Amino acid sequence: MKMKCVKSVLVGMTAVFTLVSTMNAASAVAASSDIQVILDGKRIAFVDAKPYADSGRVLVPLRVVSENLGAKVDYSNNVVTISQGSSVVKLTIGSKTASVNGKAVSLDSVPTVKSSRVFVPLRFVSEQLGQAVDWDSVDQYVWIGEKTLPNIENTIPVESTDAYKVLYRQTPDLINYDASGRTTIQVLDEASFPIYIPYGFSTDTLDLSRWDKQLYSFSLVQIDKENFFRVHYSGYSLAICLLGNDGYPRGRAAEKHTINDDGSFTDYYPIVSSGDKTFYNDAKWASYKPIDVKYVQLSIDSKNIVLIKSFWY
């Protein structure tokens, strides 16, 4: 069963690709361009010191190595010693020469001290500790270890839809626009990504994995001074609904659909759409802003309704 978004998506679909000539990677300015580190599919939280890039290499606070990679760390006299099992790595602050089990090795970027925090080259250290490392330029993710994403069914609490019906009060039937009768909901936030959302309606033996969704990131971007939600995902095409205090679920289709080198997709959904005037007689449709969006509903065939709670303001 392929779900459809609310009727106002149809108006948005008539404008699909109309911005192709003006939208490109260089012009898309993300609200946050922070580098993220994903370990075995889970995002690492950086509280006081964040990763940064130097000469094309990502450096991370030293504590990430000890707290997340399970290594023993010592720092003394400008020398960082990292040990795990039989591996011993020594790095000297400001030096492009490291020691791995007593052998000298050249570095592309140097360990450094920044804002009273020691930073070390993430790829080099991770690989010396036996971890696979991959760079995702779409999201500025550094993937370490396995790329198995957390399953929404095991990680996000399930709630009743009752507390969220006010977001649909002008068109209450659209909370279940697919007629599936779902009465439960799961709410994602920024820290929930990346996440895996399996197809939720089949109990037969058909391979319906193509309906599954792998959501890698969700962000607010500006393109030529216009606001868009940017979604990086794998799976079949995706529509969204913008939910705010006015009670109208505003359907949006992607105005740009990009196929990435790894086969995943990056879609851009407009905040402002003339469909809001057509379907809701909203005379102020052109002044709709990201701050007006409190939740975004994902139009996907999941077991529970899936919302993303605002983290863009």
pLDDT in tens, 186-208: 999 999 999 999 988 765 555 55
Residue 146, pLDDT > 70, answer: yes
Q: For residues 54 and 26, what is the distance between their CA atoms, to the nearest angstrom? A: 20
CA distance 42 to 138: 17
14, 18, 20, 26: CA torsion to nearest 10: -110
Rounded mean pLDDT, 64-89: 92
> What integer pLDDT is reported at residue 56 of this predicted model?
85
* 3-class state of residue 140 by DSSP: coil
Strand partners, 36: 141
How much is the pLDDT for 289?
96
Q: Where are the domains of the chain?
A: 8-32+150-309, 42-144
DSSP strand pairing (36-39 vs 141-144): parallel
Give the whole-angstrom CA distance, residue 212 versus residue 226. 30
Residue 59 has which token pair?
């450096």
Average pLDDT, the chain: 86
Domain 42-144 superfamily per CATH: Copper amine oxidase-like, N-terminal domain (3.30.457.10)
Q: What percent of the chain has pLDDT over 90?
A: 67
The reported pTM is: 0.84
Which residue is it, tokens 């069963």? Answer: 1
Q: Is the pLDDT of residue 43 over 50?
A: yes
Tokens linked to 156: 């996000």
Sign of CA dihedral 30, 35, 39, 40: positive
Query: Which has the closest alpha carbon to 173: 6, 1, 3, 2?
Result: 6
Nearest to 167, CA basis, from 279, 242, 247, 240: 247
pLDDT-based confidence at residue 11 (cuts at 50, 70, 90): very low
Q: pLDDT tens for residues 212-267?
A: 999 999 999 999 999 999 999 999 889 999 999 999 999 999 999 999 999 999 99
Answer for the pair 43, 143: CB distance below 8 angstroms, yes or no: no
CA distance 162 to 165: 6
Using DSSP's 3-state secondary structure scheme, residue 204 falls into coil
Confirm if 288 and 12 have CB atoms less than 8 A apart: no
Is the pLDDT at 26 greater than 70? The verdict is no
Going by C-beta distance under 8 Å and a sequence separation of 6 or more, which residues neighbour residue 6?
A: 171, 174, 177, 241, 249, 250, 251
